[in-house]
Homo-oligomer: A and B are copies of this chain.
Amino acid sequence: MGERNLTLLTDFYELTMMQGYFKNKSNETVIFDAFYRSNPSGNGYAVCAGLEQMIDYIKNLHFDQDDIKYLREQKIFDEDFLEYLSTFRFTGDIYAIPEGTVVFPMEPLVKVIAPIMEAQLVETAILTIINHQSLIATKAARVAYAAKGDGVMEFGLRRAQGPDAGTLGARAAVIGGCIGTSNVLAAKLYDIPPLGTHAHSWIMSFEDELTAFRHYANLYPENTTLLVDTYDTLRSGVPNAIKVFSELKEAGKMPKKYGIRLDSGDLAYLSKKAKKLLDAAGFTDAIITASSDLDEYLIDSLKTQGAAINSWGVGTNLITSKDCPAFGGVYKLAAIEKDGIFIPKIKLSENTWKITNPGNKTIYRIYDKESGKIKADLIALIDEEFSEENSLMIFDPIETWKKTYLRPGSYTLREILVPIFLNGECVYESPKVMDIRAYCQKELDTLWDETRRLVNPHKVYVDLSKKLWTIKNELLDSINEFYHTSK
C-alpha cells in the first residue's frame, strides 16, 4: 500500500502557499511540530503509530509528469514553480517518537526541520497517517486492557472507512494490542496473524446446522470454532456443536483448539449457559468467543458480570474508534531560521491550552527509578542539558505553583524523539509490526494502573523546561504588546 504516489495527498492550500514561498524567494529552514491536544476516548494516554507509512510517504515524495500536468491545468501555478516541483524531493530532517510508544498531549510526535516549501507540503499527509493509526492503536490498547489478557481479534474491515482504514487500521490495532486480524490483506502486508472461522452463510448453505458444523470440523481439524447463533443458540447451536465435538472425540480426532462463537443476543447469559452445557459434556477447555458490537465498555461489563467468554472479536467500534473517530493531531510552526539561528514562533489563541510551544524542542521521559513507571514528560529545548546525577525541578506550565523536586538517583531520563530523516536520507529502520506490538506492551507497563483505567484516568504531566517556559511567555508578551497596544 505504501508504494502509491501520494504526493498529491495534500491540501490545496499547501501548494498555493508553496508557490507563495517560491515567488517570495523565502525558503528559510523552519521547524514544524505535529502534536495533539487531548487523548481520544477520554483515555489517559495515546499509543503513537503510523511512522512506517509516514516514512514510505516521505521517501516516495515526487511530482510525476501527470501531477504537474494536473496542476498546470488549474491555471494558478506558474511554469517556474511547476519546474521546481518537477524535481522536488524532501531534503530535510525529521524526528519522531517510535511507533508503539505511549504519548501524551502537547508533545511533538513528529518534528520536521526543512525548507519551508518542503515542510509545508508534507503537513497534510503526515497528519492523515499519524492521526489515523494513533487513533486506532490507542483504541485497541483500551479494548485489550478491558479484555484482561484474553485475546482480542480485529474484525472490523467491513465497517472501516475504506480499504486503507481497514488495512492500516488493522496494523494499528495489532500495535495497540490485538493478537491478529480477519483482514487477509493486512495480515499479508504487515506479517500479522490472519484470524477467523465461518459466517452464518456457511450454516445457511447446508441443509441444516449440524451438517454444516460437521463439514467445517472435518475441514479445519486444527482449530474448530463453530458459530452457534444462526437459528437458536442454546436449543440448536450449542447442542449441535457439542454433538460434533463428541463425534470428533470418539473418533480420536479432537482439535487442538476448539470452541464456539456467539455473535448475538445476551452474551453474559448465553455464554454462561453455553459454558454449563459444554462443561457437562466434558468440554471444559472449549474456547468461547464473542463478537457482537463489542467495545471496551461492553467487554469490561461482561467481565464484571462473570461472562464465560475468553476470546473477543471486535469490529466496528475498534476499526472506526466509534466514540471518538478522529485524533486531533495538528502541525504548527515552531521556529524559523534566520542567520543560522532558530527564532521561536508562536500561535496565539483565546484558549490557553491552544497556544503552541515555540522553538527547537525535544522530549525527555522521566521514569521513577524504583518502579520503572513514568513520572512525567519534560519538553525542553534541544540545547538544554539534563543529567540524572542532578536534582530536577519540574512544574506545571499553566499552574506554575505546582512543582515537583526529583532527587538525584531517584529518576531516569530517556529522550523519546529520535532521528528518522537527516538531510533527506532515512536513518531509521521500522521494526516489524509484531515487534512494535511487543514494545508497546512494555510501554503500557510503564504507565501507572490509574492512568490505564478506562474512565477518569490519572493524568500524566507534560511539563516545560524553565528555559522553554520563559521563552514562551516572553513571546506571548511581545505579541500582545504589538497587536494590542501599538494599534
Could you tell me which A residues sit within 8 Å of B by CB distance? 1, 4, 6, 8-17, 19-21, 23-24, 26, 28, 30, 32, 67, 70, 74, 76, 116, 120, 123-125, 127-129, 131-133, 135-136, 155, 157-169, 182-185, 187-188, 194-202, 204-205, 208, 215-216, 219-220, 222, 230-232, 235-236, 239, 264-265, 316, 320-322, 325-329, 331-333, 336, 345, 347-350, 354, 479, 482-484, 487
Contacts and interface: CB of A to CB of B under 8 A. Distances in A.
A345 B231 CA distance: 12
Contact of A194 (B12, B21, B182, B264): B12
Contacts of A204: 333, 336, 345, 347
Nearest to A316: B326
Nearest to A333: B201
A20 B123 contact: no
27 contacts: A1-B4, A6-B163, A8-B184, A9-B167, A11-B157, A11-B182, A13-B182, A15-B184, A16-B196, A20-B219, A21-B205, A23-B219, A24-B215, A28-B205, A74-B194, A76-B222, A120-B199, A124-B157, A128-B162, A163-B164, A200-B347, A204-B345, A205-B336, A235-B483, A235-B484, A321-B325, A322-B326
Contacts of A482: 208
Nearest to A11: B182
A481 to B, nearest CB: 12
A316 B333 contact: no
Contacts of A128: 157-160, 162-163, 166
A332 B483 contact: no
Contacts of A196: 11-13, 16
Given A76-B222, A236-B487, A320-B325, 19 more contacts: A6-B163, A9-B163, A10-B184, A11-B196, A16-B197, A16-B198, A16-B219, A17-B198, A17-B199, A20-B202, A21-B205, A127-B158, A127-B159, A128-B157, A128-B160, A135-B161, A161-B164, A201-B332, A316-B328
Contacts of A163: 4, 6, 9, 125, 128-129, 164
Nearest to A479: B231
Nearest to A7: B185
B188 A13 contact: no
